[in-house]
Structure 1
Amino acid sequence: MNRQKLTALTCHALACLLFPIATTLGFQAFTAIFGATQSRGVAIGLAVQLIFAAFVMTNALIAITKNLKAKIVLVSALVLANLLYLLPQHPLRALFFAGLSGGLSLLAIYAAMHYGSKAKSA
């Protein structure tokens, strides 16, 4: 395995580790600002697990893909899937998870490209 792939896998694994931390911090901030949430519609605990599983699988695919356009299409599909799944009943959570998953994935792509190019030149 070459150094660029290892860098990409490391960056995307770090993004997968940051996802549950950001989810917990976001939920605590929402609760502190707006108070306790109302339970309705989709069982959000299972929904978060499904979103996290999709996030991990998509980031694994992004890490092994070489084409930048394909990576952007995968991130876009992940964001769109989050919005379609949560938007009807949980609009704030839909925006949060779509932004979080898209932002972390794009950050991992940028970091992998940045550190991968340094590894290539060294």
Structure 2
Amino acid sequence: MSGSGGWFVVIEEIGREFGAVKTVPVEGGAEEAWDAALEVARSHQHSSRPDATREIYRLSERELMVALREIQNPEWPFPVSIIVESFRVSVAELAEVHEPPEPQEIEEPADQKRRLWRRSRP
């Protein structure tokens, strides 16, 4: 399926499960979308950790993982570098869009009134 709905950069949080955070439409085709994905991976402010080292890993032809790494306890004899946050940046072509159906009004005949509760007896 080609050219059905345009190209997008998809930014996903990485946690217990992936969850789409943002989709960014891209003018052009797959090449332009890849260039845009690289730029997003370099500059997207995912967290409140602007001082973290940003590592960008290419996972596949259309997918990057960005890891934000910080040094923990730099005074220790062996400082530990850990990944504190990460997110995934993908290039995707929109395949299909399914709009919800229009709501339809249902008219009840006047002789078929519903009662939600019983009347109490006097």
User: Same fold per TM (> 0.5)?
Assistant: no
Higher relative contact order (CA 8 A, sep 6+): 1
Q: TM-score, normalised by structure 1?
A: 0.33
- Structure showing greater radius of gyration is 2
Q: Which structure is higher in helix share?
A: 1
Q: TM-score, normalised by structure 2?
A: 0.33
